[in-house]
Amino acid sequence: MSAIEIRNLTKRFSTVTALDDLSFSVPEGEIFGFLGPNGAGKSTTINMLLGFTQPTAGSASVFGYDAQTESKRIRERTGALLEGYGVYERITAREHVARAIRVKDTDDDPDDILARVGIPEAADRKAGGLSKGMRQRMAIGMALVGDPDLLVLDEPSTGLDPNGTRELRDVIREENRRGATVFFSSHLIDQVEAVCDRVGILKDGQMVTEGSVTDLRAQLDAATVTVKVEEAAPGPLLGDLREIHGVEEVEATDNQILVSARGGDAKLQALNRIERAGVGFADFTTDDPSLEEIFEVATLGPREDRRRDPAVEATAEGDA
């Protein structure tokens, strides 16, 4: 069974369409990365999953429970860390966790939970006086109460330092090993890439790409070969390289030639051509497309398209 099932979900706020006929599902036991630029509709999706807002059309369900009519049942089995939460200023960290324990009616120990998220010393401090990172750890702790079957984490690394981010990844993996499905929403690609089995990329309220990170890499496949040379590459060489089947893009600086190509054959031919050209071949590196590039292509379109259309590029920069 799917942990999360979203069908034709649409949400309109007066004039803005936040989600446009969105459909996807997350199988039980998976760590799903929900990616998208700011304003893509990630939090709107989560708010509807947990019953904070009602869909304009379509439906969302979690473990078979309808998000509109059986929201409480969903939240009984879910631990949620939601972006934009605010703490109860006058309530201590321990009381926050204890609150979650009482509502969920579990036998967790608040101090154990606070220790697990690395802030045992903050237990008796009022949340209003905690640093951003400590609040975030406390909120993560609250989400872990009751060993939920689903963890919904919306931008969970907000406010965390690099150690906190690494510990968060460990917690996510531990929870997943225990059997929890993890729905991880973020605009930080490296965070998602590090832990997720599968990702979906949301843009303007629509899922533009969905699949495992490996599959998505294969789809894109264009890798860049960076060749170090001793002399500037002459124009005819660059022309030759562009002629090679599979080569998409060639750029050169004084001592570098960058070739974007699909498939190993094209890359090898390009390397041979450069070597024979006598420009002082020194070394080369290749990079596989990172999730970041996948993200970039999915949300902004292929690079060459953007280059041809300056308007698109201008918009992209404006968003960044």
Which parts of this chain interact with another protein (CB under 8 A)?
A: 47, 50-54, 71-73, 75-76, 80, 82, 84-91, 95-96, 99-100, 102-104, 142
Nearer to another protein, 180 or 222 (CB): 180
Given strand 57-62, what is the order of strands in its sheet?
16-27, 2-13, 57-62, 65-66
Nearer to another protein, 78 or 191 (CB): 78
Least distance from another protein to the Cβ atom of residue 304, Å: 40
Nearer to another protein, 21 or 95 (CB): 95
Nearer to another protein, 8 or 68 (CB): 68
Report the C-alpha gap between 60 and 44 in whole angstroms: 12
Report the C-alpha gap between 45 and 80 in whole angstroms: 13
Diameter of the chain measured on Cα atoms: 74
Least distance from another protein to the Cβ atom of residue 2, Å: 21
Report the C-alpha gap between 135 and 124 in whole angstroms: 13
Question: Nearest 5°: CA angle at 45, between 178 and 164?
Answer: 50
Asked if 94 and 114 touch (Cβ cutoff 8 Å), the reply is yes
Report the C-alpha gap between 216 and 33 in whole angstroms: 13
What number of CA atoms fall less than 13 Å from residue 152's CA on the CB side? 22
Nearer to another protein, 149 or 240 (CB): 149
Report the C-alpha gap between 278 and 232 in whole angstroms: 11
Least distance from another protein to the Cβ atom of residue 154, Å: 9
Least distance from another protein to the Cβ atom of residue 171, Å: 18
The sign of the dihedral angle between the CA atoms of 13, 17, 22, 26 is: negative
Least distance from another protein to the Cβ atom of residue 69, Å: 11
Nearer to another protein, 154 or 293 (CB): 154
Least distance from another protein to the Cβ atom of residue 44, Å: 9
- Nearest to 260, CA basis, from 272, 273, 246: 246
